[in-house]
């Protein structure tokens, strides 16, 4: 198992994009075997519902070609096939071992698994009808470049739908949601993961991440329209959606 240092939260100017890429890849490969279990625990069993909701927000048409970025073990990719059995699904991630776990799942041969960097996708322009991703933006070094690539590969009229963590909102529940993110999650990780520091990174990077409104602004800056979001779990998670304009 790799013992590379974990990636720093967003905003550390001393780490280049390539270094960030390698560190994130190593971290997720190291926790691949426990990733799905950890997500289930961290979301109090809500992960399947959140995944279903995110895929539904992608407005996937019949016989679509769908790209699932940061596909990991394939939760969203498999959900796309569940909701749209006639879809052609490509799952892309920088963490090859995560995708090997997904490939071994029942039905894994129905998905095309591709090792790819979300900031420099190896796909033609206007080649997908929809893009989905879960927990991608928090883990990339360049969010504008990542969204620009999604805009490029989407066909006009295509939608992107994303599930992301969010910093605790500034409301009456903030003390409780902050306590869960920064105290409960790392303790659960210590009990369940070989590298609990990976989930300490989750806590710190979630705190440093953009609010849902700020993410919406980033989608708008990339050229998307019809942008929206919905928060979950006391504001600590959010589903985002946006459309590439029709020419």
Residue 92, pLDDT score: 98
CATH of 12-170+197-244, one of 3.40.50.720, 3.40.50.150, 3.20.20.140, 2.40.100.20: 3.40.50.150
Give the angle 225-213-54 at the CA atoms, nearest 5°: 65
Q: Measure the CA–CA gap between 72 and 94, rounded to whole angstroms.
A: 9
160 pLDDT more than 90: yes
Binding-site residues for S-adenosyl-L-methionine, in ranges, read 73, 93, 117-118
Binding-site residues, in ranges, read 73, 93, 117-118
In sequence order, which residues have a C-beta less than 8 Å from that of residue 159 and are 6 or more positions away? 57, 58, 59, 60, 130, 131, 241, 242, 243, 244
> From residue 240, how far is each of 51, 61, 62 by CA, in Å?
12, 18, 22
Torsion of CA 222, 130, 102, 4, to 10 degrees: -10
What is the helix (H) or strand (E) element at residue 199, kind and residue range? Answer: helix 197-208
Give the angle 99-101-106 at the CA atoms, nearest 5°: 110
- The mean per-residue pLDDT over the stretch 129-158 comes to 96
| pTM, entire model | 0.79
Q: How do residues 174-213 score in pLDDT, each as one tens digit?
A: 566 566 666 666 666 666 556 555 556 565 655 567 899 9
What is the helix (H) or strand (E) element at residue 81, kind and residue range? Answer: helix 75-83
Per domain, the residue ranges of the chain are 12-170+197-244
């Amino acid at each position: 198992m790799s013992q590379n240092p974990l990636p720093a939260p967003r905003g550390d100017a001393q780490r280049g994009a390539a270094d960030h890429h390698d560190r994130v890849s190593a971290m997720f490969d190291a926790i691949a075997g426990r990733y799905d279990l950890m997500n289930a625990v961290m979301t109090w069993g809500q992960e399947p519902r959140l995944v279903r909701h995110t895929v539904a927000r992608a407005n996937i048409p019949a016989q679509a070609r769908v790209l699932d970025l940061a596909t990991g073990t394939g939760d969203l990719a498999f959900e796309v096939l569940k909701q749209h059995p006639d879809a052609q699904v490509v799952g892309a991630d920088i963490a090859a071992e995560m995708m090997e776990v997904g490939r071994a799942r029942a039905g894994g041969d129905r998905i095309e698994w591709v090792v790819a960097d979300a900031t420099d996708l190896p796909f033609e322009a206007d080649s997908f009808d929809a893009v989905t991703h879960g927990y991608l933006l928090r883990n990339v070094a360049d969010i504008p470049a990542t969204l620009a690539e999604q805009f490029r590969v989407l066909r006009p009229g295509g939608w992107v739908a994303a599930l992301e963590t969010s910093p605790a909102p500034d409301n009456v529940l903030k003390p409780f949601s902050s306590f869960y993110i920064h105290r409960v999650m790392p303790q659960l990780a210590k009990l369940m993961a070989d590298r609990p520091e990976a989930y300490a990174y989750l806590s710190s990077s979630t705190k440093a991440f953009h609010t849902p409104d700020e993410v919406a602004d980033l989608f708008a800056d990339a050229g998307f329209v019809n942008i929206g979001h919905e928060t979950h779990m006391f504001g600590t998670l959010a589903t985002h959606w946006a459309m590439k304009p029709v020419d």
